[in-house]
């Protein structure tokens, strides 16, 4: 059996709910071999981010080069990139290694408000990385920052998706989780021509730390296995829905989602 392989270029969450920890857990649960290149390390738990330490740019590059020299991934995702210097290096590596399945999760701030992307780095992300992306997965606040649009309605979200598509990615998914006024969460997939709305019931829980990382990791895993964007998006939604519903209830604050839940639903995990 040929094993699908995926690489995450992202930050570490010592609390295990977001960042590379969420990515690797999700890859594993979806039968994809997971690899990582760390950009930064956070000291973090469910109560918040206590510290952030970014890694030297040449060492971020060296990790990516080591992976590509031996274990070529079928798909790559980015998460916390932190600085414009790291973004420039990742963009250069993505071009050099001709990464065609590149998923950009434009991580900006943690739930408690800690900055995971320096504000001046947003332009670098938009100008250098988005043109290389197969798909970019902003939530509503991130879509607002990337476009300067204020988003109140689905029509606003469609307009933002069009503007983000103009930056160069083949697909844009503007996620609906931050649309607090609704009992349904509608994610919007745009391919440059048509919009697909994917809707499901909202799960009311404080244990949603790492949801965005988990969604983009599941999407990356499904693309690594050769699935098309629509089927990959549906599976990523189902994975997150299960992870939010069957909550672990650990930690005193915003707890992690349950990365076992999707497999458990399918009857092969008892956790």
Q: Are 113 and 178 in contact, with CB atoms under 8 Å apart?
A: no
Is the CB of 50 or the CB of 182 nearer to ligand PXL? 50
Residue recorded with tokens 């994809």: 32
Q: Which of residues 186-245 bind ligand PXL (CB under 6 A)?
A: 210, 212-213
Greatest alpha-carbon pair distance for the chain in Å reads 48
- Nearest-approach distance from CB 129 to ligand PXL, in angstroms: 16
Applying CB under 6 A, what is the total number of residues that bind ligand PXL? 16
Is the CB of 12 or the CB of 233 nearer to ligand PXL? 12
18 binds ligand PXL (CB under 6 A): yes
- Nearest-approach distance from CB 243 to ligand PXL, in angstroms: 13
Sole binder of ligand PXL in the list 10, 24, 203, 224 (CB under 6 A): 10
Provide the mask over 88-127, with x wherever binding to ligand PXL is found by CB under 6 A and - wherever it is not: -------------------x--x-----x-----------
Q: Nearest to residue 79, comparing CAs of 101, 114, 107, 54?
A: 107
Query: Considering just the CA atoms, what is the radius of gyration of the chain in Å?
Result: 17
Give the DSSP letter string of 231-257.
Answer: HHHHHHHHHHHHHHHS----SSSSPBP
| Cβ partners under 8 Å of residue 222, min gap 6 | 30, 231, 232, 235, 236
Binding residues for ligand PXL (CB under 6 A) = 10-13, 18-19, 42, 44, 79-80, 107, 110, 116, 210, 212-213
């Amino acid at each position: 059996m040929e094993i699908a392989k995926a690489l995450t270029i992202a930050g570490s969450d010592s609390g295990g709910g977001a960042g590379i920890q969420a990515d690797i857990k999700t890859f594993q649960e979806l039968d994809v071999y997971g690899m990582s290149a760390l950009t930064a390390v956070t000291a973090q738990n469910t109560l918040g981010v206590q510290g952030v330490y970014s890694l030297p740019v040449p060492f971020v590059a060296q990790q990516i080069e080591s992976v590509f020299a031996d274990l070529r991934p079928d798909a790559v995702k980015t998460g916390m990139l932190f600085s414009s210097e790291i973004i420039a290096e990742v963009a250069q590596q993505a071009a050099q290694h001709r990464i065609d399945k590149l998923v950009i999760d434009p991580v900006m701030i943690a739930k408690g408000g800690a900055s995971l992307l320096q504000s001046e780095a947003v332009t670098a992300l938009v100008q250098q990385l988005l043109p290389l992306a197969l798909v970019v997965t902003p939530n509503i606040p991130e879509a607002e920052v990337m476009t300067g649009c204020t988003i109140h309605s689905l029509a606003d979200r469609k307009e933002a998706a069009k503007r983000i598509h103009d930056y160069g990615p083949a697909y844009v998914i503007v996620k609906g989780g931050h649309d607090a006024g609704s009992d349904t969460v509608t994610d919007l997939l745009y391919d440059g021509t048509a919009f697909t709305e994917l809707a499901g019931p909202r799960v009311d829980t404080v244990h949603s730390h790492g949801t965005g990382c988990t969604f983009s990791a599941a999407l990356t895993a499904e693309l690594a296995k050769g699935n098309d964007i629509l089927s990959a998006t549906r599976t990523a939604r189902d994975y997150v829905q299960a992870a939010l519903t069957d909550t672990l209830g650990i930690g005193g604050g915003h707890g992690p989602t349950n990365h076992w839940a999707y497999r458990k639903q399918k009857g092969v995990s008892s956790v």
